[in-house]
Chains A and B, each alone.
Chain A
């Protein structure tokens, strides 16, 4: 499977494949949104506001996992000097930052009717904002530093430091008192979310992951082509 992400495979990636993925994604979203907006029940306390969760939770999950991949790719990049790693990381950063933004916006749209405030400086919300700033800094480093080698090094170190923020985000709700509620879905115990709500949530997550994959493939291909143009036809 990993071979499919090799540069020459990606560069010859045809648009028809992306188109097929797009159609699949639309189908999944159609089902997911139908469930999320119409067929799933309202919550016993929050009422209809709970439907924001179907966007908020998957986008937060993707925002965090995206940065985890960027961080791991940066570690492999610094230690083993694997040449495709920085390109993978670089291609994931914009989409990850957008998902972080979606997570924060939907979160505050939910927070106003539920908590009574748009934003508070509790540990979960603040660490999520820090993640967003890391994404922005990561993108800016690539944009502003013209030397590829320098940008590569600085951005990798930045991503590795940002990696340490991820467990803080994850466990902030357990380590400290926060306004944000603890996780409903954990590996160790049964989910505290009713299955009628859990199923649309999972389908929604599936659709968003597919969306992430499509955008990533397109961006990754563009980045590879840019490098190919710059370096001529040298083997990468």
Chain B
């Protein structure tokens, strides 16, 4: 009698959990575009329905030797090693903004290859190490 009751409660709870997780999964799936914080250049390249007058965010790495600083603006290329987007920005870049480091730019697309940024965020990756280790790693690479 007691065991049967426990079993019933377990089954009830399990089905409750399954239903809720399916609901959450469906919600997240349908909101995918909004849950994603930024698009990669390849996402933009493959997208068919791009709105050019809506603010979006693009993320990737700053391409090596692509930063051109002018008097009031800065130009650089965001790449994911498959596709690239040229970004122009008026303002001060964050301290951690550097070549071959992650960056997220917020602003408007002019066309699929050209982006006007209003905000720049530096993205930090999951690697943590002391400066000496980083420089010796660099020496090995070169």
Residues of A within 8 A of B (CB): 41-46, 50, 53, 75, 78-80, 113-117, 120-123, 160-161, 164, 168, 176-179, 181-184, 192-194, 196-197
Q: How far is the CB of B39 from chain A (nearest CB, A)?
A: 7
Q: How far is the CB of B99 from chain A (nearest CB, A)?
A: 12
Is the pair B131, A41 in contact by a Cβ cutoff of 8 Å? yes
Q: How far is the CB of A154 from chain B (nearest CB, A)?
A: 14
**Per-position contact with A for B46-71: 1 when CB-CB < 8 Å, else 0?**
00000000000001000000000000
Q: 16 A-B pairs, CB-CB below 8 angstroms?
A: A43-B128, A44-B134, A45-B98, A45-B101, A45-B124, A46-B96, A114-B96, A114-B124, A116-B120, A168-B24, A177-B38, A177-B59, A178-B37, A194-B128, A194-B130, A197-B130
B contact residues, total (Cβ < 8 Å) = 41
A194 to B135, CA, bound (A): 14
Q: How far is the CB of A208 from chain B (nearest CB, A)?
A: 19
Residue numbers in B under 8 Å from A196 (CB-CB): 130
Is the pair A179, B130 in contact by a Cβ cutoff of 8 Å? no
Q: How far is the CB of A89 from chain B (nearest CB, A)?
A: 15
Q: How far is the CB of B141 from chain A (nearest CB, A)?
A: 14
A34 to B37, CA, bound (A): 37
Residue numbers in A under 8 Å from B124 (CB-CB): 45-46, 114-115, 181
Is the pair B20, A164 in contact by a Cβ cutoff of 8 Å? yes
**Per-position contact with A for B109-142: 1 when CB-CB < 8 Å, else 0?**
0000000000111111111111111110000000
Q: How far is the CB of A67 from chain B (nearest CB, A)?
A: 15
Residues of B within 8 A of A (CB): 6, 9-10, 13, 16-17, 20-21, 24, 28, 32, 35-40, 59, 94-96, 98, 101, 104, 119-135
A78 to B11, CA, bound (A): 11
A176 to B30, CA, bound (A): 13
Is the pair A194, B129 in contact by a Cβ cutoff of 8 Å? yes
Is the pair A177, B39 in contact by a Cβ cutoff of 8 Å? yes
Given A114-B124, A168-B24, A177-B40, 18 extra CB contacts under 8 A: A41-B131, A44-B131, A44-B134, A75-B13, A114-B94, A115-B121, A116-B94, A116-B119, A117-B121, A164-B24, A176-B35, A176-B37, A177-B59, A182-B126, A184-B127, A184-B128, A193-B127, A197-B129
Residue numbers in B under 8 Å from A41 (CB-CB): 130-132
Given A79-B9, A116-B94, A164-B20, CB of A181 within 8 Å of CB of B121: no
Residue numbers in B under 8 Å from A122 (CB-CB): 37
